[in-house]
Amino acid sequence: SSEVLEAIENVIQGVLESLAQKKAPVLTVANRRDWRNIEFKDSVGLQMIPHCTTKQIRSDCPQSAPRFALMLKILSMIYKMVQSNTYATKRDIYYSDTLLFGSQSAVDSIINDISCMLKIPRRSLHILSTTKGFVAGNLSYTEEDGTKVNCTCSATVFTVPSNVQGIKNLISHAKFVLIVEKDATFQRLLDDDFFNKVSPCIMITGRGVPDLNTRLLVRKLWDSFQIPIFSLMDADPHGVEIMCVYKYGSVSMSFEAHHLTVPSIKWLGLLPSDLKRLNISKDALIPFTKQDENKLASVQKRPYIACQPLWKKELEIMAASKLKAEIQVLTSLSQDYLSRVYLPNKLQFGGWV
């Protein structure tokens, strides 16, 4: 915490020195969303280059002055929280003055800019993000406040903890982790008692694009148990992109890649090649929209696809067919095909890429 306080004090000192010299204070932040500032490393994923291009948030420019003021406001809130050892969610910060902040997305963006500017992970700034992910299966742990969580006993779903860094005493006999893209598929596998039938496993879902806590938990499970991690996504460009976020990270959070990515994640399904192999009827597939075509083209150009020849092949199959499928398409073969046939066969005989 002293490191955080010192980092904020240095920023404020810079502002005061500018004022003393009768200069307009400026805050300098990295261009987080610029691909030119990102490099790809096999072992880490997408990470920010050391000397990246920056942008200035000036206090004397009508366009950026409001953002400058909001950054100082949130810095002061962080400073007080770190001093008093209290925490707040991003929602708490927004609702402390909705008129001032204008929108939740403005708050989220400023918090990420501050984290990147100070080179301090967001959790250490005492800001928690609201969790939407779920976890179930063969896992027990103790939360920071001493609450014991045991996912192993039942088919109960537990919310991913809001302070993943603080959980300890992780115990599991799981043979693998299964990341499931969507809540509906996750619930279906729970109803079928999948994580007890095949072999003990941990199931986790970010319910679409994963939030920070879900990504942190996947990384924590990898660090703790070093067991295979498989992903089960829709066979569409959006599903592939979500899987890439877990595996290689996102451009906007590349400055935190070391804590968030798990490059060893395997793509278990639903593979575009599975659709042909299983003779899925064309009527059950969904034609691409223009948006799907653009998304797929953008994913195919990303630096990490070049080092994944098997992924590249799958994406080419998808691009050629211009058809996509949700995991639910497997119910056209039989109601419990996913948990009874598809996943057990893949896990036993190795059908992942």
User: pLDDT digit string (tens) for 269-316?
Assistant: 899 999 888 888 888 889 989 999 999 998 888 888 888 889 899 999
Q: How large is the average pLDDT for residues 49-74? A: 86
Percentage of the chain lying above the pLDDT 90 cut: 34
Separation between Cα atoms, residue 338 and residue 330, nearest integer Å: 6
Of 131, 127, 133, nearest in space to 242 by CA: 133
Q: Are residues 253 and 120 in the same domain?
A: no
Least confident of 84-88, 208-212, 216-220, 255-259: 255-259
Q: Are residues 181 and 328 in the same domain?
A: yes
Q: Are residues 98 and 140 in the same domain?
A: no
Residue 99 has pLDDT above 80, yes or no: yes
Q: pLDDT tens, 138-169? A: 899 998 888 888 888 666 788 898 888 888 99
Quickly state the pLDDT bin for 205 (edges 50, 70, 90).
Answer: very high
State the pLDDT at residue 242: 93
Q: Are residues 87 and 150 in the same domain?
A: no
Q: Are residues 119 and 139 in the same domain?
A: no
Q: pLDDT tens, 11-24? A: 999 999 999 999 98
Of 112, 103, 119, nearest in space to 66 by CA: 103
Q: Are residues 106 and 143 in the same domain?
A: no
Q: Is 334 helix (H, G, I), strand (E, B) or coil?
A: coil
Separation between Cα atoms, residue 137 and residue 3, nearest integer Å: 38
Residue 350 has pLDDT above 70, yes or no: yes
Separation between Cα atoms, residue 193 and residue 336, nearest integer Å: 11
**What is the count of structural domains for the chain?**
2
Q: Are residues 228 and 85 in the same domain?
A: no
State the pLDDT at residue 181: 93
The domain containing residue 273 runs over which residues?
Answer: 134-349
Q: Cβ(93)–Cβ(104) under 8 Å?
A: no
Residues labelled as active-site residues: 95
Q: Is 189 helix (H, G, I), strand (E, B) or coil?
A: helix
Separation between Cα atoms, residue 21 and residue 60, nearest integer Å: 14
Q: Cβ(1)–Cβ(85) under 8 Å?
A: yes
Supply the DSSP symbol for 17.
H
Residue 231 has pLDDT above 90, yes or no: yes
Residue with tokens 């497997």: 330
Q: Are residues 312 and 181 in the same domain?
A: yes
| Strands, E assignment, the chain | 26-30, 38-41, 45-48, 54-58, 88-89, 127-128, 134-137, 140-142, 148-150, 158-159, 168-171, 176-180, 201-205, 229-232, 266-269, 286-287, 323-324
The two tokens of residue 266 are 């395997």
The two tokens of residue 122 are 């967001």
Q: Are residues 151 and 33 in the same domain?
A: no
Quickly state the pLDDT bin for 31 (edges 50, 70, 90).
Answer: confident
State the pLDDT at residue 154: 64
Q: Are residues 23 and 159 in the same domain?
A: no
State the pLDDT at residue 162: 82
The CATH code of the domain that includes 69 is: 1.10.10.10
The CATH code of the domain that includes 227 is: 3.40.1360.10
Residue 38 has pLDDT above 90, yes or no: no
Of 167, 182, 181, 175, nearest in space to 137 by CA: 175
Q: pLDDT tens, 307-343? A: 888 989 999 999 998 999 999 888 888 888 888 889 9
Amino acid code (one letter) for 260:
L
Q: How would you class 72 by CB atoms within 10 Å of its CB: exposed for 0-12, middle for 13-18, buried for 19 or more?
A: middle
Percentage of the chain lying above the pLDDT 70 cut: 99
Indicate the residue among 128, 144, 175 that finishes a domain.
128
State the pLDDT at residue 301: 87
H-helix segments, 119-227: 183-191, 194-197, 212-225
Indicate the residue among 105, 128, 151 that finishes a domain.
128
Residues in the chain: 353
Indicate the residue among 65, 98, 128 that finishes a domain.
128
> Alpha carbon of 11 to those of 55, 115, 286: distances in Å?
16, 13, 52
Quickly state the pLDDT bin for 53 (edges 50, 70, 90).
Answer: confident
Strands 127-128 and 88-89, by their bridges, are: parallel
State the pLDDT at residue 54: 81
- Rounded to the nearest integer, the mean pLDDT of the chain is 87
